[in-house]
Amino acid sequence: MPPDDPLPSRLSSDVYAVLRRQIVTGELRPNQPLIELDIAERLQVSRTPVRESLQRLAHAGLVVPRKRGWAVREFTPDEIRQNAEVRMALEGYAASLAALRGSPSDIAAIVAIHERRLNLRSSDEAMRVKTNRDFHDAIMRASGNPRLTDAIYHSGQFYFNAPIARVTTGEELALGNADHALIVAAIKKRDGPAAEKAMRAHIQRTFALFWRVTGLAEPLDVRQE
Amino acid sequence: MPPDDPLPSRLSSDVYAVLRRQIVTGELRPNQPLIELDIAERLQVSRTPVRESLQRLAHAGLVVPRKRGWAVREFTPDEIRQNAEVRMALEGYAASLAALRGSPSDIAAIVAIHERRLNLRSSDEAMRVKTNRDFHDAIMRASGNPRLTDAIYHSGQFYFNAPIARVTTGEELALGNADHALIVAAIKKRDGPAAEKAMRAHIQRTFALFWRVTGLAEPLDVRQE
DNA sequence: GCACGCAAGTTTGCATACAAATTTCATTTC
DNA sequence: GAAATGAAATTTGTATGCAAACTTGCGTGC
């Protein structure tokens, strides 16, 4: 949830941001116990903000309670598959809403980003990552539903562990622009169901690729319909 | 998130549960500032667990930061509409998964609950509430995706404020069983898309009723397709 | 009569204190 | 040598302390 207010800076928010990043990038390994005092000293704060940020992380599902204290949550391949399905549900619906009621300028923005991406030189990895993110963001924005956007954002943090962090940034890039083109076409035609279907298929293919790249066991039943 | 572990009891969890309930039921009014010391004294704990539970509530989106401290979040009718759409996305997808890959016993359970509900005497309000909840739970369970279930659960807490709490328990009941029957039929036929469509329509009708009952201004654009 | 300013009172954000529970680890026992 | 024991060291969960930031309300000046 990107705050729209000039939020008062609070240490626990900073600590949360740092820990979140370290967990999602895998710097803090799954099942690693989180020692409050270590973190506090590392970040030069007292235990209070650390504990408060751990509460948030727990609610976010990134850390799990132990008998005492907390540990970085480990996700199984199956849980990652489950999460992919959540994304298919949410982002698919966002695409459908974008098609059905995105404003002309919303849709122009989507098209523009897509086309910029088509003209990218294949070597420009960073730019491909950025435009991919922009593409998905633009669709969420066009959905006209900030809470939906929020939910998608929240569901997007569960791909760490193992080599996942690296892959999920790279993943979708390798798929080429064919998927995106299908989505754009459906949105331009204001065809909600088609946009939804295309987006779901896109996410599904992304994860199929993901299993291949990571070498993790592919959970059963990824396929649908 | 109903914890499945024998979680060590922690005061902050208790405080969280109490505050959450009081917010969702409207006992704590929207925009009401939450004074740490008041809460602490009311619940006979120190400020520490109170602060920690506020962090969780903030992450859950039930309280918002003020320049100093927190206040109960107020939801506008439009935000409630947005949230209904999130539910349509998630629960619709859950229904589709239930149809496509629910086990025979999963489906038998759904049918059983539905039929029990059909035979209810109309006076038995409490039982209608319970079986309605059971019905939706059974479908989520049949989806075979706990994370999806979790996401739905999280999205289900945004209907408080105003007279909403009362209504959202009552709402779906008044709709009769026609909607449920459609959903059950689709699931029995293993027709994913039909189940998804029926569930979305059900939630949509629920909210249409909701606007009528509460007298709140209906936000634009609830309708789709 | 209204606005402004200033002091007193709240209430927070962060740090620290402390006892209880758990873990660690060396020592003893078989 | 392995298992058992228990004392020491960690580490947590909760409470409290404290200075700073914000509010409130009164008094003063215009």
Query: A100 and B151: CB-CB below 8 Å?
Result: no
Task: Evaluate whether A192 touches A99 at the Cβ level (below 8 Å).
Answer: yes
Considering all nucleic acid strands, name the nucleotide whose C1' atom is nearest to the C-alpha of residue A36. Answer: D11
Considering all nucleic acid strands, name the nucleotide whose C1' atom is nearest to the C-alpha of residue A68. Answer: D12
pLDDT at B165: 41
Question: In angstroms, what CA-CA distances link A40 with A46, A71, B12, B127, B191?
Answer: 5, 16, 20, 50, 53
What does strand C contact on the protein, if contact means CB under 7 A? A 8-12, 45-49, 52, 66-68; B 8, 33-37, 47-48, 51, 65, 68-69
The CATH 1.10.10.10 portion of chain A extends over: 11-72
Q: Closest by alpha carbon to B165, among B85, B78, B80?
A: B80
Give residue B17's identity as a one-letter amino acid code: A
**Of A78, A147, A191, which to mutate for an interface test with B (greatest number of B Cβ within 10 Å)?**
A147
Considering all nucleic acid strands, name the nucleotide whose C1' atom is nearest to the C-alpha of residue A48. Answer: C14
Residuewise pLDDT in 10s, chain B (225 residues): 333 334 566 788 999 999 998 988 788 988 999 999 999 999 999 999 999 999 999 999 899 999 888 999 988 888 888 989 999 999 999 999 999 999 999 999 999 999 998 887 766 767 877 888 899 999 999 999 999 999 998 886 655 544 444 444 544 555 668 899 999 999 999 999 999 999 999 988 877 877 776 666 677 665 555
Express each pLDDT in A38-87 by its tens digit.
999 999 999 999 999 999 999 999 999 998 899 999 888 888 889 899 99
Q: Which CATH superfamily is domain B77-214 in?
A: GntR ligand-binding domain-like (1.20.120.530)
Query: B93 and A97: CB-CB below 8 Å?
Result: no
Residue B211 has which token pair?
A: 């606007």
pLDDT at A33: 93
Question: C-alpha B83: how far from its chain's center?
Answer: 10
List beta partners, residue A63.
A72
Q: Closest by alpha carbon to A221, among B68, B98, B122, B22?
A: B98
Phi-psi region of A3 (alpha: psi -120 to 50; beta: other; left: phi over 0): beta
Instruction: Check CB contact of B148 with chain A, cutoff 8 Å.
Output: yes
Q: Between B82, B88, B221, which is nearest A101 by CB?
A: B221
Provide the 8-state DSSP code for A145. Answer: -
Express each pLDDT in B125-184 by its tens digit.
678 778 888 999 999 999 999 999 999 988 866 555 444 444 445 445 556 688 999 999
Q: How confident is the model at residue A5 (pLDDT cuts 50, 70, 90)?
A: very low
List beta partners, residue B66.
none
Round and report the angstrom distance from CA (A185) to C1' (D17).
63
Closest residue (CA) to C1' of nucleotide C21 is: A68
pLDDT at B47: 95
List beta partners, residue B70.
B34, B65
Task: Evaluate whether A65 touches B5 at the Cβ level (below 8 Å).
Answer: yes
What distance in Å separates the CA atoms of residue B73 and residue B58, rounded to the nearest whole number? Answer: 9
Task: Evaluate whether B72 touches B24 at the Cβ level (below 8 Å).
Answer: no
Provide the 8-state DSSP code for A74. Answer: P
**Of B46, B78, B82, B155, which to mutate for an interface test with A (greatest number of A Cβ within 10 Å)?**
B82
Across the range A19-46, mean pLDDT stands at: 91
Residue A46 has which token pair?
A: 């007292």
Instruction: Check CB contact of B159 with chain A, cutoff 8 Å.
Output: no
List beta partners, residue B65.
B70
Express each pLDDT in A96-128 by its tens digit.
999 999 999 999 999 999 999 888 776 676 787
Alpha helices by DSSP H, chain B:
11-24, 36-43, 47-60, 77-101, 104-118, 125-142, 146-155, 164-174, 178-188, 192-214
Round and report the angstrom distance from CA (B37) to C1' (D5).
46
Give, to the nearest 10 degrees, the angle between helix B125-142 and helix B104-118. Answer: 160
What distance in Å separates the CA atoms of residue B39 and residue B161, rounded to the nearest whole number? Answer: 20
List beta partners, residue A34.
A70
pLDDT at B130: 82
Give residue B5's identity as a one-letter amino acid code: D
Nearest C-alpha of chain B: how many angstroms from A120? 33
Considering all nucleic acid strands, name the nucleotide whose C1' atom is nearest to the C-alpha of residue B50. Answer: D14
Query: A193 and B225: CB-CB below 8 Å?
Result: yes
Q: Closest by alpha carbon to B47, among B15, B10, B7?
A: B15
The CATH 1.20.120.530 portion of chain A extends over: 77-214
List beta partners, residue A72.
A63
What distance in Å separates the CA atoms of residue A98 and residue B137, rounded to the nearest whole number? Answer: 30
Tell me whether strands B33-34 and B70-72 are parallel, antiparallel or unpaired: antiparallel
How high is the mean pLDDT of chain A? 84
Residue A199 has which token pair?
A: 């987006």
Query: B85 and A147: CB-CB below 8 Å?
Result: yes
List beta partners, residue A65.
A70
Express each pLDDT in A179-202 by its tens digit.
999 999 999 999 999 999 999 999
List beta partners, residue A33.
A71
Q: Between A12, A88, A192, which is nearest B225 by CB?
A: A192
How high is the mean pLDDT of chain B? 84
Give, to the nearest 10 degrees, the angle between helix A125-142 and helix A104-118. Answer: 160
Q: Tell me which architecture the domain covering A11-72 has in CATH.
A: Orthogonal Bundle (1.10)
Strand spans (E) along A48-207: 63-65, 70-72
- End-to-end CA gap in chain B: 33
